[in-house]
Amino acid sequence: MASAVMPTYTRAPIVFTHGKGCELFARDGRRYLDFAAGIAVCALGHAHPGLVAALAEQAGRLWHCSNLFEIEGQERLAARLAELSFGDVVFFGNSGAEANECAIKLARRHHAAAGRAERWRILGFEGSFHGRTLATLAAAGNPRNLQNFGPVVPGFEQAPFGDLDAVAARLGPETAAILVEPIQGDGGIRVAPPGFLAGLRALADRAGILLIFDEIQSGIARSGTLFAHAHDGVAPDVMTLAKGLGGGFPVGACVATHHAAAGMTGGSHASTFGGNPLAMAVANAVLDVVAQPAFLARVARAAARLGAGLDRLVAAHPGVFEARRGRGLMAGLRCRADSGEVAGRLRDAGLLVAPAQDRVVRFLPALVVDDAQIDEALAIVDAVARRNADRAA
């Protein structure tokens, strides 16, 4: 029978019934090793006892009361995110796209509140991904995702990722902010080249505009530090988070300095569900774990093991893989074949990965992945690559 779900996705014909850590179990009884983690969402794996307990405890007390009232969990999570970052204040939404919408609106209000309403344009980058709302599609400028959705929302343009001269040339009297992923995820795990984020910081400061980091995929310890921009020693004015923040519960956040958020006054922005008690309980429980120095050190060790293994695979199978990319547990292999095809073969062999643009398959395991699981994943990739090289020969 035809599905009644709107066919906007290309789905693999697998139904998962449950998961545990880095493993998923399908209705037909098959076990999969999960190195996609719901696209970098299930930061602590599936059915993490601490998250299950936090959600169940909150569910028994209060689900929703709306933002007409104070919400304890929001106060606590906002204070902790501010304490752990450059930021002072946080707006909560339900997704990454909404977090970026908030950042875009905040940038325009920032300038308008200071009498510079003419500064409203946002400069983004080629290869980026910021969500699927009309404004975030325009911010990324990916023609494939914009196709046939009518006129593109005005006020956005893109420079080549990594090209500071191109950025400098595009900044003008109407620019409000620069929006960039410190590590492009969907674009193919492209790490900002050394000095790029610092260069953007300097250009933004000189122009008197805001620097926004989209850490929706790279944040929450994914790169080995709590936020990926820490590797570059550069702080933005605004940062967006989602994916890993809720460990699988929908939540997004826009973190900003007081200065950047100066225009976000009472009544300026809102979300019915944003920051509801369930989301806050889970996100606070995620933060309890991922912000621990020992946890971050373990992520770095796991990342080193995965990275070394992927390097060996690139060296062993040059006809299949071109290069390894990434930082921390945000890793990618650039393939000679289409990334969707490679991801499909790995899935058939029992390993879930996330395809990206630029012929890259993403390895985004839960941050709790252990050495044996990393070795098992590498062995599956090796076996699939071997079979494939034989077929090509």
Ligand X SMILES: *Cc1c(COP(=O)(O)O)cnc(C)c1O
- Residue listed under structure tokens 């946080």: 90
Query: Residue count at the site for ligand X (CB under 6 A)?
Result: 15
130 binds ligand X (CB under 6 A): yes
DSSP code per residue over 361-380: EEE---TT--HHHHHHHHHH
Backbone angles phi, psi at 150, to 5 degrees: 85, -170
Nearest distance, CB of residue 179 and ligand X, angstroms: 10
Site string (243-282) toward ligand X, x via CB under 6 A: x---------------------------------------
Q: Which stretch binds ligand X (CB under 6 A): 125-133, 160-168, 282-290, 298-306?
A: 125-133
Nearest distance, CB of residue 265 and ligand X, angstroms: 25
217 binds ligand X (CB under 6 A): yes
Contacts of residue 390, defined as CB under 8 A and 6 or more positions apart, other chains included, come to none
Closest C-alpha among 59, 90, 96, 94 to residue 77: 90
Near ligand X by CB under 6 A: residue from 32, 86, 125, 129: 129
How far is Cα 254 from Cα 243, in angstroms, rounded to an integer? 13
Residue 132, CB-side half-sphere exposure with 13 Å CA sphere: 7
Which residue lies nearer to ligand X by CB, 120 or 125? 125
Which residue lies nearer to ligand X by CB, 185 or 275? 185
95 binds ligand X (CB under 6 A): yes
Torsion of CA 265, 268, 270, 275, to 10 degrees: -20
Q: What tokens appear for 348 in the block? A: 């058939």
Contacts of residue 169, defined as CB under 8 A and 6 or more positions apart, other chains included, come to none
How far is Cα 346 from Cα 8, in angstroms, rounded to an integer? 23
Nearest distance, CB of residue 41 and ligand X, angstroms: 8
Q: Which residue's C-beta sits nearest to ligand X? A: 96
Q: Which stretch binds ligand X (CB under 6 A): 43-51, 91-99, 146-154, 350-358?
A: 91-99
Report the SS3 class of residue 207.
helix
Among positions 316-345, residues that touch ligand X (CB under 6 A) are none
How far is Cα 101 from Cα 109, in angstroms, rounded to an integer? 12
Nearest distance, CB of residue 10 and ligand X, angstroms: 16
Tell me the β-bridge partners of 255.
90, 239
Near ligand X by CB under 6 A: residue from 34, 214, 232, 237: 214
How far is Cα 297 from Cα 299, in angstroms, rounded to an integer? 5
Nearest distance, CB of residue 242 and ligand X, angstroms: 5
Report the SS3 class of residue 382.
helix
Near ligand X by CB under 6 A: residue from 45, 96, 188, 247: 96
Which residue lies nearer to ligand X by CB, 119 or 130? 130
Q: What tokens appear for 12 in the block? A: 């693999």
Nearest distance, CB of residue 95 and ligand X, angstroms: 3
216 binds ligand X (CB under 6 A): yes
CA 194 to chain centre: 20
Which residues are the active-site residues? 129, 214, 243
Nearest distance, CB of residue 325 and ligand X, angstroms: 15
Site string (162-201) toward ligand X, x via CB under 6 A: -------------------x---xx---------------
Near ligand X by CB under 6 A: residue from 44, 97, 210, 286: 97
Site string (25-64) toward ligand X, x via CB under 6 A: ----------------------------------------
How far is Cα 283 from Cα 245, in angstroms, rounded to an integer? 6
DSSP H helices in the chain: 37-40, 49-59, 72-83, 96-113, 134-140, 143-146, 164-170, 196-207, 277-290, 293-316, 339-348, 371-392
Report the SS3 class of residue 51.
helix
Q: Quick one: DSSP state of residue 225?
A: S
- Write out the residues near ligand X by the rule CB under 6 A: 95-97, 100, 129-131, 181, 185-186, 214, 216-217, 242-243
